[in-house]
Amino acid sequence: MTGLRRSWLLASLLVAAPAWAQLSSLTASAVVTSVMFVPEPREDMSRPTDLVLTDVPAAAALQQIEDRVQTSNGGSAEVKFLGRIGLLKAYAAASHPDCCTIGGQLVTTGFSNATVDAGFTDTVAVTGAGLAAGTPVQYTVGLRISGSISSPSFEMGGHIGVFGVAEVRLEDTTTREIVTLRWNAANQAPGLFALTLNTQVGHQLGIIGTLNIGASIDSAAKTARSGVADFDNTAVYTLAPSVAGLNTTGVSGTNFLAPVPEPASWAAMLLGLAALGGVSRLRRSGLLAC
Compute the mean pLDDT over every residue in the chain, rounded to the nearest whole number.
84
Model pLDDT, residue 288: 35
Q: Which candidate, 271, 287, 270, 279, places its Cα nearest to that of 181?
A: 279
Model pLDDT, residue 40: 81
Residues in the chain, overall count: 290
Model pLDDT, residue 278: 41
Model pLDDT, residue 106: 66
Question: CA–CA separation, 267 vs 192, rounded Å?
Answer: 11
* pLDDT above 90 coverage of the chain, percent: 69
Model pLDDT, residue 7: 41
Model pLDDT, residue 13: 40
Q: With helix as H, strand as E and coil as C, how does the chain read?
A: CHHHHHHHHHHHHHHHCCHHHCCCEEEEEEEEEEEEEECCCCEEEEEEEEEEEECCHHHHCCEEEEEEEECCCCCEEEEEEEEECCEEEEEEEEECCCCCEECCEECCEEEEEEEEEEEEEEEEECCECCCCCCCEEEEEEEEEEEEEECCCCEECCCCEEEEEEEEEEEEECCCCCEEEEEEECCCCCCEEEEEEEEEECCCEEEEEEEEEEEEEEECCCCCCCEEEEEEEEEEEEEEEECCCCECCEECCCCECECCCCCHHHHHHHHHHHHHHCCCEEECHHHHHCC
Model pLDDT, residue 151: 94
Model pLDDT, residue 41: 87
Angstrom distances, CA of residue 281 to CA of 58, 122, 136, 251: 32, 20, 17, 25
Q: Which candidate, 54, 182, 209, places its Cα nearest to that of 119?
A: 209
Model pLDDT, residue 16: 42
Domain carrying residue 95: 2-288
In the chain, the number of structural domains is: 1
Cβ–Cβ < 8 Å for 206, 120: no
- Which residue ranges of the chain lie beneath pLDDT 50? 1-21, 260-290
